[in-house]
Structure formats: C-alpha cells, structure tokens
Copies of this chain bind each other. A is one copy, B any other.
C-alpha cells in the first residue's frame, strides 16, 4: 500500500511541475496555475516524504490499486487549475477526467476565445493520459489478467531482475516513440499552416487519440486538405500498438494481425461510406473521401475530432457511427473501445464454433499472432465484452433517470465508456457539448470514462469487498 501512495505522489509532483511550466508560459493564467502547482506540489511532496522509505510488500492486487488510484489522482490534480480558473467543481472534474482518460468530451464552449494556458493544460492532460495508458498496458494489465491482456504476458512481465530491466528498457523505448510521434506531428501541422500553438496543442491530442481541440469547430477549423489527411494519418498512428513500432524499428518486421485488421476494416468502411455518400448525396468524390476518412478514422481510433457534423448525414450514417464508436484501435496503443485484438479473438472463436457444427468432435483452436489462445484468455475477452456491454447499458439506463432522451443517453454512455468523445444527437453530437447536461449525468459519464479507460474490470475489482480484505 505505501508503494501505491508513493507512485501517486510522484504523479502529483510531475503534474505540479507541468502546472508550474504552464504558469511560466502563459501570463494571463499565471496565478491560477501557480496556485494549483503550489497545492499539488505540497500534497505530492508530503505523501512522497511519508511513504518513500516504507516500501512494504507488493503483490498482484496492488496493480489494481495503483491503476485505479492513479487515474483518480490525475483527474483531481488535472481539475484543480480548471476549477481555480472558472469552472464549477463537477465541470472541472468532468473536463479533467475526460482529458486524462483521453476521451475528449468537453463542457467548455467558446474555445477559440479561451486562455491559451487552459487550452494547453487540457491538451497536456490527454497527452499524459495517453502515455500512462500505454505504459499500464505494457507493465500492468498483462499481470492483472484484465480482459484477455494476459495474452501479452511475456517473460518481461515476470519478476526477475533481468526481466524487470528489460521491461524498463521497453517502457522507455515506448515513451521515446510517443515523444517522437508527437514531435513529428507538430512539425507536420506547422508545415500545413497551423500556428505553433495550434500545432503543439493538436499534436498532443492527436497522438494520444484524445481529441481536445483549441476551437469550437474542432479540426474542422483547418480547411487545408493536407492538414486533414495528415490528421487522419497521425490519429491512426496513435491507435497502432506501440510495441509494434519498436519491433518495426528494431527488426523491420511489419507483420501484425491487429494492425492489418484495423487497416482493412478502416479501408472497407471508408470506401463503403464514401460510395454511399457520393451516390445518395452527389457530393464530389475526393472531398467526400477526405471527409469520410477523417471522421471514420477519428471515431474508430477513438480520437473524436470532427471536421463536419456527420450525424446530419442521416440515420444510416448515424447508426454506422454508433457502431464504429464501440470498435476501438489496437491494444497497447492510446486508443479506447474494445480494440482489435478482442474483436479478432471473438470472431475467430465464433468461426471455430461454426466449424464444430460440421464436425462436432473436431478440435478447432483459436490462434492469434501465430500462437494458440488458451481458454483463460478467451474467457478474459468474453468477460471484457460482458462488462463493456453491461457498463454501457447500465450507464444509459442511469442517464435516463436524468430525463435525457434515448439517443443522448445511449450514445453518451457509449462514447464515454469507449473514450471516444462526441456522441450522437443535438445535445452531445460532434457539433454539441456536454455543458448542458445535469450534474448527476456528468458524474455518471465521468465514471463511465474512468471505467472504460481501465477496461472495466480494474474498476469493478476495486468494488468487491473481498478485494479489500485480501489486498491489505
């Protein structure tokens, strides 16, 4: 337990330092960020000093406590400047949770006129949240056996000194790839005509598939075809497995079932929707392709930028976008949703079952990336989908208690749990905003984003009393 508190205190110290940096850069909001930094650093420092020397034991259950608490700590610290600045507490908490979980649903409007310090802070929250999730996906989720992630449990997740060192090397390589992508993305955005501030803010939220923008028009502010195609590319980059980048860089091996499945699906959906739009709406082919590609990639990678209000494309497109919202990118990336690995395992298991109809006594094992998927992983994936569906439906019903209409409650629950950002409908659609929702709904959605980011199970394990008896 003290070690969990110690790591949380490091997180607070890091975030306090970032607040200090923001204070230095933007005079208009200097006092807000200085105050927040002071408070965060003090609390972080106290916890750090009181826990740094009592290491205590460490077991698998502490991983749940660590992930579960880190996202709450970061959301609270992230909310602090927003609250001190101008927002109510729930609005600040919602905005920070939406940031740190890389969801990108926002309660703020008039973004174009908002202080730059605040805009950068929102973008930084998403960027930290993205890298935090990748590191958790490499270091913690596999040993926590959450949602079939034990599939990625390699020797490097075990306890030996040598393996720990190699895991640390791997994690730091990942962070370098993340930094590199963000840097290149910033340069590309500048070369396309964004101001430096816009480029940095959007690069931070593109690579993290977060989706916060500096304008109410979201990415639609940039009408350049070049910028929109580059945005599409870098959103996709944020949704690819970071372990895959490292393998490509180290060994030049491109092959990955997840990456292939994601790209094939995207190409099929984009072509299908483009043809449908051109045939029914008569819009120009290339412009339609660009619009469709950007918005489909944005939803599937769970980034949530919009360049147009695609919900005005009619009920068919709205229904298609709802389904895409649930999909998600690859595991081991910054993106949310159910993710490709799980869809692949699910579909292959269904396929094996179909074969068994023809040959009831045949043995059809499910393979993934060349290895046999064992029953434990299979039921982990199945459990993930059960919790995923149950969380979304339960949240939608609970939102109904606040008299939200069905489209808003269902798409709101879905977009929160899948960490996408925009919903469907007039209120929370890509052109809308979550500010108008009642406070209770904002608390519920904050919980949905939190549960979705931690792949449900992590949060639900914390709610079981038996866990707390065992963990101490």
Residues of chain A touching chain B, judged by Cβ–Cβ distance below 8 Å, are 60-61, 144-146, 314-320, 322-323, 346-347, 349-350, 352-354, 356-358, 360, 375-376, 378-380, 382-383, 385-387, 389, 393, 396-397, 399-401, 403-407, 409-410, 424, 457, 460-461, 464, 466-467, 470
Contact = CB atoms under 8 A, between A and B. Distances in A.
Contacts of A382: 346, 349-350, 353, 382
Given A145-B356, A358-B470, A397 B350 contact: no
One complex includes copies of this chain to the number of: 2
A353, A354, A404, A424: most-surrounded residue (chain B CB, <10 A)? A353
Contacts of A323: 393, 397
Contacts of A461: 354, 357
B403 A360 contact: no
B354 A400 contact: no
A424 B407 CA distance: 12
A291 to B, nearest CB: 19
Contact of A349 (B61, B357, B383, B457): B383
Nearest to A386: B350
28 contacts: A60-B360, A144-B357, A145-B356, A145-B360, A315-B399, A315-B400, A315-B404, A315-B405, A315-B406, A317-B400, A318-B400, A318-B406, A319-B397, A319-B399, A323-B393, A346-B382, A346-B386, A349-B379, A349-B382, A350-B383, A350-B386, A352-B379, A353-B383, A354-B383, A354-B461, A358-B467, A378-B379, A406-B406
Q: Please give me the 3 A-B residue pairs with the lowest Cβ-Cβ distance, nearest first.
A: A316-B400, A319-B400, A315-B400
Contacts of A378: 379
B353 A379 contact: yes
A366 to B, nearest CB: 9
Nearest to A393: B323
A385 B386 CA distance: 10
A410 B466 CA distance: 39
Given A400-B314, A407-B406, A145 B319 contact: no
A85 B354 CA distance: 42
B379 A406 contact: no
Given A461-B354, A470-B358, A400 B144 contact: no
A354 B315 contact: no
Given A349-B382, A358-B470, A393-B323, A315 B403 contact: yes
